[in-house]
C-alpha cells in the first residue's frame, strides 16, 4: 500500500524544486514511462526501498497573494486529511512570515508526522539563521538546499521511518475495484445502480462526496470490494479547490486498488483531468477500465461508438490496450458489463505465464524481428521470464541491454499482449544482462 506525502507551504519557498528533485531520482531509476510525466504535481519517489507518492500542493493554486491566504489554509487542511505525512517547507531567506505562522497553527493540531523543512540553507551563516523557525512550535527542523539537494538524505531517512508500515495484502483478499473520475462524472450514480439502493446520496452539487468507502459486493456471482471515492463531503469546501481535491482523492483510491474504473461524462469528453487520472492509474501500474457514462445523451447526436472510442484511444497512446465500456448509470445500461470487464482485467493483472511458454512463444518472434543493431553491435535476447510481482513485469535477458531502445520494448510489449492477453493492464519490461 503506497503512503502519501504532501508538501505544503506558502508560495516561492521552493516546494516545486524540492518535489522535482525527489521524483526525478525515482523517475531516473524506473526508466520513466516513455514520454512526459503528465501531472506536474504528483509523482512517486522511493528511498531505501520504501516507495511513496508525493504531492506538491503548490502547483494547484493560481491567483494573487490575497486569494492565496485563504487558499493555502484549505490546501493544508486537505493535505492533513489525505496524506500520511506532511512536509512543511519554509524559506530561510525570508525568515518566519505571518503565513508560515498560519500554516504552523493548523499543523500543530495534527497527529500525523509533520516535517518542518527550512529551505535555501547553503552555508553556515544560513544554518544559524534557521534557528528562528523553532518559534513555529513544531519542534526540530531539517535544513536543506533543494537547488543542490544537500540535506535531503537526513530528511528522507526520517520521513520513511515515520511512514505507516506496509500492510501485507492477504492472498485471499478480495479484488479491489476503485471507481474514480472527475467530480460529477456519475461515480455515485454508477455505484447506486450497481447495488440498487440509495446508500450514497447523489446531489448535483459538485463535490458532495467526501470519503472513500469500501463496500463488499457479491453480485452477479463475483465477489469484490468496491473502493468508492464517493461519500459525503463538508459543504463549506464544496466550490473551491475541486481540481486539487479530486486529484488527492483519486491518488488515494488508486494507490489502494487493483483495478480502476475510470468514469467520465460522455457529454464533456475525455478531457485533460480525466486523462490525468488515467495516467495516474497507469503510472501506478493498476488495471484500468474506461467507462463512458451518459452515453444515452450523446447517442442521440448520432455519434458512433466506433469514432468515439477511436478518439479516446488516440489520447491514451501508447497504452491503448484498455477496455472501453459505454454505460448509462441512469438507465443501468451495460453496468453489469462494466463489472464483468473489471473482473477480466483483474485476472489479466494477476496472470502468471510459465517461463517455458514465454520462451517457446516469444523467442521465435524475436529471432524473426531482432532488436535493430546499434553502433554495429547486435543484441541477442537469450531468455525471458516473468518476475514474481503483483503486476505483470518481464525480464528479457540479453548481451547488451543498454542498446535496446523504447520502440523495440514497445514491440515486445505488443507481442506479449497479443499472445497472452493483458488487456487493461500496464506491463513493465526490463532488459537484463545475461
Each as own residue / partner, the long-range contacts of residues 337-343 (CB below 8 Å, 24 or more positions apart, any chain) are 338/190, 338/261, 338/289, 338/291, 339/177, 339/194, 339/219, 339/220, 339/222, 339/224, 340/220, 340/222, 341/289, 341/424, 342/177, 342/224, 342/259, 342/261, 342/287, 342/289, 343/175, 343/222, 343/224
- Look at residue 113 in the predicted model and tell me its pLDDT: 94
CA dist 131 and 205 (Å) reads 46
Q: How far is Cα of residue 306 from the mean position of the Cα atoms in its chain?
A: 29
Q: E strand or H helix at 276, and its extent?
A: helix 272-283
CA dist 400 and 379 (Å) reads 6
**Cα radius of gyration (the chain):** 24
Q: Which residue, 246, 230, 429, 227, is CA-closest to 346?
A: 227
Q: E strand or H helix at 179, and its extent?
A: strand 176-180
- Look at residue 18 in the predicted model and tell me its pLDDT: 87
**406 φ, ψ (degrees, to nearest 5):** -45, -50
Question: Which residues lie across from 386 on neighbouring strands?
Answer: 394
- Look at residue 171 in the predicted model and tell me its pLDDT: 46
Q: How many CA atoms lie within 13 A of 385 on its CB side?
A: 6
- Look at residue 235 in the predicted model and tell me its pLDDT: 40
**168 φ, ψ (degrees, to nearest 5):** -80, 125
- Look at residue 35 in the predicted model and tell me its pLDDT: 35
- Look at residue 27 in the predicted model and tell me its pLDDT: 47
- Look at residue 253 in the predicted model and tell me its pLDDT: 82
pLDDT tens-digit profile, the chain (434 residues): 578 899 998 878 888 888 888 877 544 333 333 333 344 577 778 888 888 888 887 655 444 455 556 667 777 887 788 788 999 999 999 999 988 998 999 899 888 999 999 999 989 999 999 999 999 999 999 999 987 888 899 999 999 999 887 665 554 577 889 998 877 788 878 887 877 654 544 444 444 344 445 666 666 667 778 776 653 344 444 444 555 666 676 787 888 789 999 999 999 989 887 888 898 889 889 999 999 999 888 877 767 888 999 999 999 998 999 999 999 988 888 988 999 999 999 999 999 999 999 999 999 999 999 999 988 899 999 999 999 988 899 999 999 999 999 999 999 999 999 999 999 999 999 999 98
* Eight-class DSSP state of 150: B
CA dist 215 and 146 (Å) reads 42
CA dist 294 and 108 (Å) reads 45
Amino acid at each position: 500500500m503506497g503512503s502519501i506525502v504532501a508538501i505544503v507551504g506558502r508560495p516561492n519557498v521552493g516546494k516545486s524544486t524540492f518535489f522535482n528533485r525527489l521524483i526525478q531520482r525515482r523517475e531516473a531509476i524506473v526508466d520513466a514511462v516513455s514520454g512526459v510525466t503528465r501531472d506536474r504535481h504528483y509523482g512517486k519517489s522511493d528511498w531505501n526501498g520504501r516507495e511513496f507518492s508525493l504531492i506538491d500542493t503548490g502547483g494547484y493554486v493560481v491567483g494573487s497573494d490575497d486569494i492565496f491566504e485563504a487558499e493555502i489554509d484549505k490546501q493544508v487542511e486537505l493535505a492533513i486529511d489525505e496524506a500520511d505525512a506532511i512536509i512543511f517547507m519554509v524559506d530561510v531567506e525570508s525568515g518566519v512570515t505571518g503565513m508560515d505562522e498560519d500554516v504552523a497553527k493548523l499543523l500543530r493540531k495534527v497527529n500525523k508526522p509533520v516535517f518542518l523543512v527550512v529551505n535555501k540553507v547553503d552555508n553556515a551563516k544560513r544554518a544559524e539563521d534557521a534557528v528562528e523557525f523553532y518559534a513555529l512550535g513544531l519542534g526540530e527542523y531539517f535544513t536543506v538546499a533543494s537547488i543542490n539537494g544537500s540535506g535531503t538524505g537526513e530528511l528522507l531517512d526520517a520521513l520513511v521511518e515515520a511512514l505507516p508500515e506496509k500492510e501485507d495484502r492477504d492472498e485471499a483478499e478480495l479484488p479491489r475495484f476503485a471507481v474514480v473520475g472527475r467530480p460529477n462524472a456519475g461515480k455515485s450514480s454508477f455505484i447506486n445502480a450497481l447495488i440498487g439502493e440509495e446508500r450514497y446520496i447523489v446531489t448535483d452539487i459538485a463535490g458532495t462526496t467526501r470519503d472513500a468507502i469500501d463496500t463488499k459486493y457479491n453480485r452477479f456471482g463475483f465477489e469484490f470490494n468496491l473502493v468508492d471515492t464517493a461519500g459525503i463531503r463538508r459543504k463549506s469546501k464544496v466550490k473551491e479547490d475541486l481540481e486539487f481535491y479530486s486529484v488527492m482523492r483519486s491518488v488515494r483510491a488508486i494507490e489502494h486498488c487493483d483495478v480502476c474504473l475510470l468514469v467520465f461524462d460522455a457529454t464533456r469528453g475525455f478531457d485533460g483531468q480525466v486523462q490525468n487520472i488515467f495516467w495516474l492509474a497507469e503510472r501506478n501500474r493498476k488495471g484500468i477500465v474506461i467507462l463512458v457514462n451518459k452515453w444515452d445523451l450523446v447517442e442521440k447526436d448520432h455519434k458512433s461508438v466506433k469514432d468515439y472510442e477511436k478518439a479516446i484511444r488516440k489520447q491514451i497512446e501508447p497504452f491503448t490496450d484498455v477496455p472501453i465500456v459505454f454505460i448509462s448509470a441512469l438507465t443501468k445500461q451495460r453496468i453489469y458489463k462494466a463489472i464483468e470487464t473489471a473482473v477480466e482485467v483483474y485476472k489479466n493483472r494477476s496472470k502468471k505465464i510459465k517461463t517455458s511458454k514465454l520462451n517457446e512463444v516469444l523467442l521465435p518472434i524475436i529471432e524473426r524481428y531482432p532488436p535493430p543493431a546499434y553502433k554495429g553491435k547486435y543484441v541477442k535476447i537469450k531468455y525471458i521470464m516473468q518476475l514474481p510481482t503483483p503486476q505483470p513485469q518481464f525480464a528479457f535477458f540479453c548481451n547488451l541491454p543498454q542498446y535496446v531502445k523504447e520502440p523495440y520494448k514497445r514491440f515486445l510489449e505488443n507481442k506479449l499482449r497479443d499472445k497472452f492477453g493483458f488487456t487493461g493492464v500496464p506491463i513493465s519490461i526490463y532488459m537484463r544482462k545475461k
